[in-house]
Structure 1
């Protein structure tokens, strides 16, 4: 079964919009695990517009499943990850002013940079994943960085799927197979939803984990968090 890691950034966005501590991200992390999710994901950004750096520390004692911290490996992010030592660090090349992640790494141009960071993370026993577009050359480049996994950036698939273009999954299928051949684990995330997740799971082999936040929280507004998590788990079997 592909594991479901719930990204709780949007919970923090809602909290920050009003001040105070409602909803409480720590309690939500406890709940999503109690409801069956096999992981919790956060993506702290330098401006702390959703998840705050302190949240990352507060979540550490309560995440008993897999703890995945995503982000651009600037010094402050690396210091945070190395101190907390989550299950997994997912390296994402997002700009400081990016609304959300919008591209994968150029693993060829940035190979030496990524090698250095990944070596440091792995010395602390932290599993590493690199956010990449479904391009074979980028998968091959990722394998040369020493990373444990890749995370396939799935926005284009989700967009094309919504237009009825089912063939848009093919690059992801091919890249997942290539990654597996090169010894890389395969994760995926970005704009995956209840509408498209089952098709993606069935078409993409060796899929170890999906990280889903925005769609899942939006769906939960209508159908409830526990119900939506269980729907994802059923579709990922």
Structure 2
């Protein structure tokens, strides 16, 4: 079964909109695990507009499943991850002012940098993953960095699937086949939803984990967190 890691950035956004501690991020994380999710994902950004760096520390003793911290490995981020030692760190090349992640790493151009930072995380017992676009060259480059996994950036697939273009899955399938040959674990995320997750999972061999936040929280506004998480788990089984 493909694991479901729930990104709770949107819960933090809602909390921050009014100040105070409603909704309680830690309680929501605990409930998400209770409802069956196999991981919690956060993506703190330098301006702390949703997840705050303190949240990352506070969640460490709370999360009993897999704890995945995403972000651009700038100095403050790297220091935090090395202190917390989550299950997994996912490296994302997002700009400081990015609204959301919008591109994967150029694993060839940034090979030396990625090798250095990945080796540091792995020396500290942290599983590593690199956010990548679905191109074979980037998968080959990722394998050269020493990363444990890749995370396929799925925005284009989701966009095309919503338009009825199921052929958009092909580059993702091809990249997954290559990743398997190169002994890279495969994660995926960005705009995956209840509408497209089953089809995506069925076409990605050995998909280990998906990280879903925005769509899942939006769907939960209508149907509730427990029901929505249950639906994802059914589609991923």
Is 2:128 aligned against 1:128? yes
Matches of 2:189 and 2:39, distance apart in 1:
13
Is 2:99 aligned against 1:87? no
Matches of 2:19 and 2:188, distance apart in 1:
32
2:234 is matched with 234
1:142 is matched with 142
The two structures have a TM-score, normalised by structure 2, of 1.00
1:99-146 CA distance string (max 9 Å, x none): 000000000000000000000000000000000000000000000000
Aligned residues: 237
Is 2:154 aligned against 1:178? no
Name the SS of the counterpart of 1:144 in structure 2.
helix
- Segments ≥4 residues shifted beyond 3 Å: none
Matches of 2:63 and 2:148, distance apart in 1:
21
**Contiguous gaps of at least 5 residues in structure 1:** none
Cα distance, 1:155 vs. partner?
0.0
1:20-46 CA distance string (max 9 Å, x none): 000011001000000000000000000
Is 2:89 aligned against 1:71? no
Matches of 1:25 and 1:109, distance apart in 2:
37
Matches of 1:145 and 1:54, distance apart in 2:
30
Matches of 2:123 and 2:143, distance apart in 1:
18
- Aligned counterparts, 1:1-237, within 5 A: 1-237=1-237
Cα distance, 1:203 vs. partner?
0.9
The two structures have a TM-score, normalised by structure 1, of 1.00
Matches of 2:176 and 2:23, distance apart in 1:
37
Matches of 1:24 and 1:88, distance apart in 2:
23
Matches of 2:227 and 2:38, distance apart in 1:
15
CA RMSD of the aligned region, Å?
0.3
1:198-220 CA distance string (max 9 Å, x none): 00000111100000000000000
Matches of 1:190 and 1:47, distance apart in 2:
21
Cα distance, 1:47 vs. partner?
0.1
Matches of 2:144 and 2:228, distance apart in 1:
38
